[in-house]
A and B are shown apart, each in its own frame.
Chain A
Amino acid sequence: MPLQSRHLLGLDGMPRQDLQLILDTAVSFREVLERPIKKVPPLQGKTIANMFFENSTRTRLSFELAERRLSADVLGFQSTGSSVSKGETLKDTARNIEAMKVDMVVMRHFASGAPHYLSTVIEGHVINAGDGSHEHPTQALLDMYTIREKLGRLEDLHVCIVGDIAHSRVARSNIYGLRTMGARVSVCGPATMIPREIERMGVEVHHHLDDVLPHVDVLNVLRIQLERDAGRLFPSIREYHAMYGITRARLEKAGRAVTIMHPGPINRDVELSSDVADGEHSVILQQVLNGVAVRMAVLYLLSSK
């Protein structure tokens, strides 16, 4: 049973059986990663271009590793700044790379919707590795995989996403995927970081972390953009940490074993204290490992479309 779409642009509208298929396929690739020889042949002879129009280390490395583990030929491209200011449009850049007979394009872009646009101007498969504040589907898939691995299921679990929801592509993809899989999702952050009418996406909105903490199974803690937002979207790092920082004391007060996730990179002692980030309920490093398996699953399933 193949995926419905020939691209992975987002989890918005992705049917449950497709999510299930990706997560189940990732289980077999996760097993491959435990072998002494971690390379398998399914994408032999396929060429994948990783186009990163925004700084990224772990997503780029994770995709690259997943591609190489599947025996694909990989070419990478990293550039910052607007395509317009560079003098070449996204369309031209992508078409030039495609002219070298590329089968798939993995793209990270600072503009929401850029991969959707790309999928209309090139022939190959497009995989969204994060677009603006819109979606980051493989991150949400690896988050779901990690929750399922840790807690055995997604249905009826309460996942709370904490931080700057308005500017987070991780939040949106998690909301779409988790809601489709039957989880309960809430978001928690200062009102300045909660986008308007997000309730209509089927999530609860909280502003006071201690109110929601006793009821959650999983906390997905988002990175705060310190330089950009302090003084504008929240008064100071000190106040943010006091209201939304996840500490051991705060979790103990809630009296619940809450699984801790973070898409990285962590601002230690801002959104997450070290004793929690490195504590027994943290699955942050498992997320990183699972990310490779999930991306292998996505690449494998799309390549057979």
Chain B
Amino acid sequence: MQVLLKGATLIDPVSGHDGAMDLHIADGVIQQLGPNLSVSRAQVFDLRGKVVAPGFIDMHVHLREPGFEHKETIRTGVEAAAAGGFTAVCCMPNTNPAIDDESVIRFIQSKAGIALNGLVDVYPVGAVTVGRKGEQLAPLAELAAAGAVAFSDDGEPVQSAEMVRRALEYSGMFGRPLIQHAQDLPLTKGGVMHEGFTATELGLPGMPGIAEEVMVARDVRIVEFTGGRYHVAHISTAGTLELVRAAKARHLHVSCEVSPHHFTLTDEAVRTYDTNTKMNPPLRTRDDVEALKEGLRDGSIEVIATDHAPHSFDEKQVEFSSAPFGIVGLETAFGLAVTELVRKNVLSLYQLIQKFSTNPRAILGLPAIRVSEGEKANLTMFDPAAEWVVDPSEFKTMSKNTPFGGYKLTGRALGVINNGQILWTE
């Protein structure tokens, strides 16, 4: 494979480069960087007006395999990731069986190695506790050695303070973060949407923002006591953001991510009772959305991650209260981020690339991607000005559960290069 990317703007936060640069790639390795390159025998791609960036990673994805292959498989999830501009994903352990021993990690790795010839790196997140039941520590050393990049019982928040303490102490030995889906379960019992005015009008049981905040507040105190790395998944409230800021001010290893739907939609979207507006944590208020954008702007929120949660058509074709939580996100994340953040002057493209690539890799302890001669090419190409309309029927993901069908977005991934493979969307 000989490829010449011509005329693009290269934005690389690791080197600090932000300007025009041609790239010559052969056999998956960057051969040459420079202005006005010309290479004989190379396939030339005209990328004038387009951007080349270090490959994106989505650190919060549900690939559903093993166990729930009617929602998504590793193959379809990887295809969706590549279509969305991601060269890597972290898959959450709420599979069946859960990712709580080495064999499940090996299974995922073997499937991921075949999908698109290994174009997308799939990094499993190991369970914190056996079966994600919150009772007994999972073999974290075994999981880390097999390739788990973090630990989480995502979807089943670790309720016991004592278990969080032990998990932080133990996972700290491997330098891997504990990713907490922060939710105090008794406070959200029966809840299906944000508890506020809209829930009051719709008569739907609420999930108050404090359910997230009390757990983050508690966990941050534990982090201060134990050390270790703590990452809050999909933060959704202004209050959680304040707690994260306070923890950072105390120099704790606390980080967080936000999902595109939480900086785009409010609980008002639930008014239609569309089950594709049902997710956990739920869509919050306008004030929360504005606070989260400010958190992205000031750097308190380092990561954009999708919480890609495929559910089959029939599973969502039910009454609101019976529907499962979650929406797919891999193929809309970048467009939503450009539309809601870059176009609205919350973030520059440079900062956006940090949130999609540099920052999550640093939090997970993955090697930084260097866009320089002699390095492996791990790249995302995108058009920041492309206008397109979301059509879920065109998604690569097996499930189509999105509230964004028909949305007009700006910004779209054009292709990805990784592990010697190249894939252009369209």
Binding site for B on A (CB under 8 A): 12, 82-84, 89-91, 109-114, 116-117, 121, 131-135, 166, 169, 172, 195-198, 200-201
Contacts and interface: CB of A to CB of B under 8 A. Distances in A.
Contact of B200 (A111, A113, A201): A201
A112 B204 contact: yes
Interface string B310-342: 000010011111100000000000000000000
B93 interface: no
A195 B205 CA distance: 10
A305 B83 CA distance: 47
Interface-central residue, A90, A169, A197, by most chain B CB under 10 Å: A197
B16 interface: no
Contact of A196 (B202, B206, B319): B206
B200 A83 contact: no
A84 B318 contact: yes
Contact of A83 (B204, B206, B322): B322
Nearest to A175: B201
A83 B318 contact: yes
Contact of A12 (B201, B318, B322): B201
B197 interface: yes
A82 B322 contact: yes
A201 B201 CA distance: 8
Interface string B80-114: 00000000000000000000000000000000000
B193 to A, nearest CB: 10
Interface-central residue, A84, A166, A196, by most chain B CB under 10 Å: A196
A91 B317 contact: yes
A130 B195 CA distance: 21
B273 A117 contact: yes
Interface string B389-426: 00000000000000000000000000000000000000
B196 interface: yes
Given A133-B204, A134-B202, A196-B196, A91 B318 contact: yes
A113 B314 CA distance: 17
Contacts of B321: 110-113, 132
Interface residues of B, number: 20
Given A112-B273, A172-B201, 10 more contacts: A83-B322, A84-B322, A112-B204, A112-B321, A113-B320, A131-B203, A134-B203, A135-B203, A196-B206, A200-B200
Given A84-B322, A117-B273, A198 B317 contact: no
B38 to A, nearest CB: 58
* Top-6 shortest CB links A-B: A134-B203, A113-B273, A133-B203, A111-B319, A197-B197, A195-B200
A247 B318 CA distance: 44
A111 B202 CA distance: 11
B203 A196 contact: no
Nearest to A169: B203
A90 B318 CA distance: 7
B200 A197 contact: yes
Contact of A112 (B196, B203, B272, B314): B203
Interface-central residue, A113, A132, A135, A195, by most chain B CB under 10 Å: A113
A16 B263 CA distance: 37
Contacts of A201: 200-201
B203 A90 contact: no
Contact of B195 (A83, A109, A133, A196): A196
Interface string B263-287: 0000000001100000000000000
Given A84-B322, A89-B317, A113 B204 contact: yes
A117 B323 CA distance: 12
A179 to B, nearest CB: 12
Contacts of B53: none
Given A89-B314, A196-B197, A197-B197, A117 B203 contact: no
A113 B200 CA distance: 13
16 contacts: A89-B318, A110-B321, A112-B202, A112-B273, A113-B202, A113-B321, A116-B272, A117-B273, A121-B317, A131-B203, A132-B204, A133-B203, A166-B200, A195-B200, A196-B195, A200-B200
Nearest to A118: B319
Contacts of B197: 196-197, 200
A86 B206 CA distance: 26
B202 to A, nearest CB: 6
A121 B313 CA distance: 14
B353 interface: no
Nearest to A165: B200
Contacts of B273: 112-113, 116-117
B51 interface: no
Contacts of B150: none
A112 B320 contact: yes
Nearest to A176: B201
Interface string B185-196: 000000000011
B3 to A, nearest CB: 48
A134 B322 contact: no
Contacts of B317: 89, 91, 121
Contacts of A134: 202-204
Nearest to A111: B319
B377 interface: no
B45 to A, nearest CB: 45
A132 B203 contact: yes
Contacts of B363: none
A90 B319 CA distance: 8
A197 B200 CA distance: 7
Contacts of B195: 196
B320 A111 contact: yes
B319 A117 contact: yes
B199 interface: yes
Contact of A109 (B196, B200, B202, B319): B319
A161 B321 CA distance: 26
Nearest to B197: A197
Nearest to A199: B197
Interface in B38-66: none
Interface-central residue, B197, B201, B314, by most chain A CB under 10 Å: B201
Contacts of B203: 112, 131-135, 169, 172
Contacts of B199: 195-196
Interface string B123-143: 000000000000000000000
Contacts of B318: 83-84, 89-91, 117
Interface in B157-181: none
B185 to A, nearest CB: 16
A83 B201 contact: no
Contacts of A12: 201
B200 A198 contact: yes
